[in-house]
Amino acid sequence: MIEVELKVKVDKEEVEDLSHKLKELGFKRYGKVEEIDTYFKGIDRDFRETDEALRIRESIDLERGDRRYYLTYKGPKLDSISKTREEYQVKVEDGDTTKIILEKLGFKKVPPLRKVREIYKKDDVTVSIDRVEDIGYFLEFEKSVKSESEREGAIRELMDLIRTLDLDEGRLIRASYLELRDSYEEKG
């Protein structure tokens, strides 16, 4: 599966207005979750150099109280515009034990990344309003496609949505939240 993803940096003051605009466009609020992502460093290669990611996500539904864990591998970005990449994800029953298994295999954890995500969906498009700890506010636009040939059309569709929300393309960010946090920490 290929996850086509575009991300835009927004200000806290814009969030409420963007939520209203999404609803006016027919998006339904799907819920609000806290996600705690524990990323791992590669054993035989530096994932920062290869642009890959391996993580355990703990997802807590803030409205129902459900807690779920996912193991995810993300391949390198496929273009210079978006964060589109191959992604493989599987639900796991016990996130803590899965972390231990990965560590026993030689993977090294990095400090967890925390965010609160409000999710909106319309058809096969998901828009998330994210508040990422120590980084700020973002809108993530996602659409999954089955093949490389569908990628460009999905990017155009998401870009049209960004323009409809009156968000400037200059605000697009290709870096992952982990990359953003690392760059903020390096700047001090």
Would you place residue 70 in the very low, low, confident or very high pLDDT band (cuts 50, 70, 90)?
A: very high
Taken in order of first residue, the domains within the chain and their CATH numbers are: 2-187 (2.40.320.10)
Point out the least confidently predicted range of 8-17, 26-35, 79-88, 123-132: 79-88
Q: Please report the pLDDT score of residue 76 as a whole number.
A: 92
Give this prediction's pTM: 0.89
Strand runs labelled E in the chain: 2-10, 28-41, 53-61, 67-74, 85-92, 108-109, 113-122, 125-132, 136-145
Of 39, 69, 120, 137, which residue is the catalytic one?
39
Please tell me whether residue 101 adopts helix, strand or coil conformation.
helix
Reply yes or no on whether 39 is catalytic: yes
